[in-house]
Amino acid sequence: MIDSTRIQALIQAVEQANSAEGLVESVRALVATNSEEVIPTLITVLGYNNPEAAVIAVEGLIGLGEAAVMPLLNQLDEYNYGARAYSIRALATIADPRALDVLVTAAASDFAPSVRRAAAKGLGNLQWHQLSPEQGQEAQDLALKTLLDVSQDAEWANRYAAIVGLEALAANATGMIERIRNRFEQMLSSEADLAVRSRVLMAQQKNGC
């Protein structure tokens, strides 16, 4: 276990890094502590506009799992879509259902396409069993409704992400597969974009949707 003084020194190194490489190295060292104490700093790094450092921070946050969920939700950056996309990606991968409302809002209406796509994918993958049966049903219904809406978006990449979310939902949630199958059938008959069509085919053929 690394002691707190050492961790504070590492946090300071991140805050005071004066080169891109220095930042990346400091963030790496911070992640290596595997300490929950560094979570707020890792989240701050997502807004530094240094993709390499941000990717390392996201992996660190994912590694810390549930402990990172509330800080990620509370520290969500409303003014920086780059930072927000990293946070949503971390939340989507940790898959804690407490992120449901944030993912629903992000998938349905975020300004930035990268945020919407990450959220749509994440909505299919949440750990529903962590909720009570009643809560779980309500949460899954909301995820399904959101993804069905996104599957009608004007932008191909959002529709593509919705299919990926729906395919996962069909596999993880209970009692949704018929509605998802029907939607995929509809999409096949109306979808003009070849890439989106073929993603529906893949969901049908690989996962029986």
Binding mask 85-114 for other proteins (x = CB under 8 A): --------------------------xxxx
Q: Is 104 in contact with 115 (CB distance < 8 Å)?
A: no
Site for other proteins in 167-206 (CB under 8 A): 194-195, 197-199, 201-202, 205-206
Comparing CB distances to other proteins, the nearer of 35 and 125 is: 125
Mark the segment that binds other proteins (CB under 8 A) among 10-18, 98-106, 139-147, 151-159. Answer: 151-159
- Out of 117, 139, 146, 170, which residue is the one contacting other proteins (CB under 8 A)? 117
Number of residues counted as binding other proteins (CB under 8 A): 28
Q: Which residues in this chain contact other proteins in the complex, by CB under 8 A? A: 51-52, 81, 111-114, 117-118, 120-121, 153-157, 160-161, 164, 194-195, 197-199, 201-202, 205-206
